[in-house]
């Protein structure tokens, strides 16, 4: 049985860290590879930029565009961040 979606920003952080074990840049890269089917080179960019689960949720389109170039990949990541932050 899947946990319900988080309803506050604080709960989103706990959701991402707790449910998916995204505690380090390496964990985030693995999460993105599995969850979004991102190619390795884009996942590696999060490691190279020291972005972990909590920082991931704070990223903007502009932030991501600084280290990932294809617009389609950037949109895919932003859409996922927005889904994680979605309040039901």
CB-based burial, 30-58: b 16+ in 10 Å, e otherwise: bbbbeeeebeeebbebbbeeebbbeebbe
Q: Is residue 3 part of a domain?
A: no
Question: What is the domain-level CATH number for residue 81?
Answer: 1.10.150.50
60 in any annotated domain: yes
Greater confidence (19 vs 71) lies with: 71
Reported as a single tens digit per residue, the pLDDT across 30-78 is 999 999 999 999 999 999 999 988 889 899 999 999 999 999 999 999 9
The tally of domains found in the chain comes to 1
Question: What pLDDT is recorded for position 12?
Answer: 58
**Contact between 22 and 31 (Cβ < 8 Å):** yes
In a domain, 18, yes or no: yes
> What range defines the domain where residue 34 resides?
9-85
84: pLDDT strictly greater than 60: yes
Q: In the predicted model, is pLDDT for residue 5 greater than 50?
A: no
């Amino acid at each position: 049985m899947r946990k319900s979606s988080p309803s506050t920003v604080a709960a989103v952080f706990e959701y991402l860290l707790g449910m998916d074990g995204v505690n380090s840049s390496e964990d985030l890269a693995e999460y993105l590879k599995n969850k979004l089917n991102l190619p390795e080179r884009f996942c590696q960019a999060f490691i190279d930029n020291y972005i972990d689960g909590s920082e991931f949720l704070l990223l903007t389109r502009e932030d991501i565009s600084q280290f990932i170039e294809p617009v389609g990949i950037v949109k895919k990541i932003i859409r996922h961040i927005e889904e994680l932050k979605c309040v039901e």
